[in-house]
Amino acid sequence: MATVTLREEVTELLRELIRVDTTNPPGNETRAAELLRDYLGDHGVESELIARVPERANLVARLPGGDGPSLLFLSHTDVVLADPSEWSADPFGGELRDDEVWGRGALDMKGQVAAEAVAVASLAREGFEPRGDLIFAATADEEVGAGFGAQWLCEAYPEAVRADFCVNEGAGDRLQLAGNAFYACSVSEKMSAPFRLRVRGRSGHASMPGIADNALVKAAPLIEKLGAYKPERRLIPEVAAMLRTVTGRTPASADEALELARSVAPLLGELVEPLVSLTFTPTMIRASRKRNVVPAVCEVTVDSRLLPGQAPEEAQAIVRGLLGAGDFELEVLEAHGGTRSSMETPLWAAVESFVAQLEPGARPIPVCVPGFTDSHWFREAFGTVAYGFFPSRAMVAEVAARLIHSADERVPVDDLETGVEWLRHAARQVLDA
Ligand SMILES: [Zn+2]
C-alpha cells in the first residue's frame, strides 16, 4: 500500500461503499459492514459486526488505548431512496467524474464513513498508540430509525460504543460571512416533539349538517391559532457564541441576535431564525373517511421543534394556553433529540486548530441544527461530547444542501481528503499521550 495516498484510499473505499445498495428501507447494511470489516482487517484493525437481525449489521472497530478519554468516530451506512430516472449518473455506480465521487450517500454519509475508516486504518498502520480508545462505529438504520442502529447499540451493547467524545455528521459547511471564512460545527440539536389534537364532535349524515357537530369544522380555528402563533424568542448559548465569533459582538437578546445575523448576511439570518424559538407546524389532518358522513373525530398532527433544554411539558402548556378549553384532547407523540454538548472541550480545541490549519484566518462557529442526528443517543446514554463536523471546503454549502437526499449527490475528492486529515487530527489532539 506504500504507493497509495490517503486521498486515493478514501476515494476507492467510498466508490466501493456506494456500489453496495443500502437503501433504507430495507437497509441491508450488513454488506457495507462486511466491506468495512474486510478493509480494516487488511490494515490490521479488528472489528465486529453487531446485529439485531442478520441483514442489518452495525460495524464497530477499536484501537485500544490506555485509560485516557475515548473518542468515537460515528457514522451510518444506510442511505435514502434514489430514483435513477432523476440522476445523470448511476446512483449506485460510484463513478469518479471530474474529481468528484458520484452516488447516493456520497454526502449523507458514506463519504464520512470512508474517511473515518481510512483515518483509523492509517493511524493503526503508523503504530498510533492512543491514551484512550479510538472507536469507529458505522451503524445501520439512521434514516428510518426503526431500532437497528445507534439507539439499539447504546441500549444493548453500551460497552461497545460508550465514548467520552464523538465526531458525527451534522455540519462542516464553509460559510463566508462579513469577509471572513467560518466552518459550522454542530454542538446541539433541536428536539422533535410532535403532538396530535383529537377534536371531538358528533357524526351525522352530511345532507343534514344541522343535526351533527362537525369535528373538522371545529378543528379549523384551532389550526389557525397554531399557525398564527408567534412563539416567545429565546437566546440560546450556541447562537450567542456563533454571533460573537462572527461579529465580535454578543447579542443581549434573541431579537437582537436575529437582527445582528440578518445585518451580516441573509444566509446567517436564515441559519439563526429557527434557533430563537420553538415551532408549531400543523402538517397532517384526518377526519371522515366518507364524503357523506360528518366526522365525529378530527385528528390534527402538529410537527413541533423545541430549543435544546426546552421540555415537551413546557410546549404542551403553551398549546393548552393558546387553544383554551374545548372539545379536544392533546396527545403527545414520541419526542427525540434536543441535546447539547459543551463548547469548552478538547474536541472543540481540535476543531479550532484544524480549521486554522486548513484555512489560515478561518474559525469554527458552533451551530445548533434544526433537525437531529444519532448524536443524541450518545449524549443521553453516556454524556458523550458529540459534535457534527466533517469539513467541506471544495463544495459550496448551498450546492451540498441541494444534493443531500436528492438527485446527483456527489462529493469532491478534495473534501474527502480534508475529511481524513480532520479525523486524524482529532484523534491525535484528543488521544495523543
Ligand atoms: Zn445522515
Of 100, 108, 141, 142, the active-site residue reads 142
353-377 pLDDT, tens digit each: 999 999 999 999 999 988 889 999 9
Cβ 192 vs Cβ 336: under 8 Å: yes
* Separation in Å, CA 258 to CA 95, 166, 184, 246, 368: 42, 30, 17, 13, 14
Q: Residue 280 CB: number of other CB atoms within 10 A?
A: 20
31-45 pLDDT, tens digit each: 999 999 999 999 999
Can you give the pLDDT at residue 168?
A: 98
Short-list 383, 4, 392, 418, CA closest to 174: 392
Can you give the pLDDT at residue 371?
A: 83
CA of 169 to the centre of ligand 1 (A): 6
Residues in the chain: 433
Catalytic, 173? Answer no
CA gap 337, 189 in Å, rounded:
6
Cβ 395 vs Cβ 175: under 8 Å: no
- Rounded to two decimals, what is the model's pTM? 0.91
Residues whose CB is less than 8 angstroms from the CB of residue 90 and which lie 6 or more positions away in sequence, other chains included = 84, 103
Catalytic, 78? Answer yes
φ/ψ of residue 159, rounded to 5? -70, -20
Distance from CA of residue 336 to its chain's centroid? 12
User: Which stretches of 314-390 are assigned E, i.e. beta strand?
Assistant: 328-332, 336-337, 363-369, 385-388
DSSP 3-state of 403: helix
Mean pLDDT score of the chain, rounded to an integer? 96
CA gap 417, 114 in Å, rounded:
10
Short-list 398, 402, 403, 389, CA closest to 358: 389
371-414 pLDDT, tens digit each: 889 999 999 999 999 999 999 999 988 889 889 999 999 999 99
82-109 pLDDT, tens digit each: 999 999 999 999 999 999 999 999 999 9
Which residues on neighbouring strands pair with residue 61, listed in sequence order?
47, 136
CA of 81 to the centre of ligand 1 (A): 13
115-155 pLDDT, tens digit each: 999 999 999 999 999 999 999 999 999 999 999 999 999 99
Can you give the pLDDT at residue 2?
A: 56
**Neighbour-count burial for 3-18, b at 16+ CB within 10 Å, e otherwise:** eeebbebbbbbbbbbb
CA of 147 to the centre of ligand 1 (A): 16
List the grid coordinates of 152.
Answer: 439499539
DSSP 3-state of 281: strand
φ/ψ of residue 334, rounded to 5? -70, 130
pLDDT at 194 over 70: yes
| First vs last C-alpha separation in the chain | 27
CA of 288 to the centre of ligand 1 (A): 37
pLDDT at 271 over 80: yes
Of 9, 78, 133, 143, the active-site residue reads 78
Q: Exposed, middle or buried, 360 (CB in 10 Å: 0-12/13-18/19+)?
A: exposed
pLDDT at 3 over 80: no
DSSP 3-state of 310: coil
CA of 270 to the centre of ligand 1 (A): 21
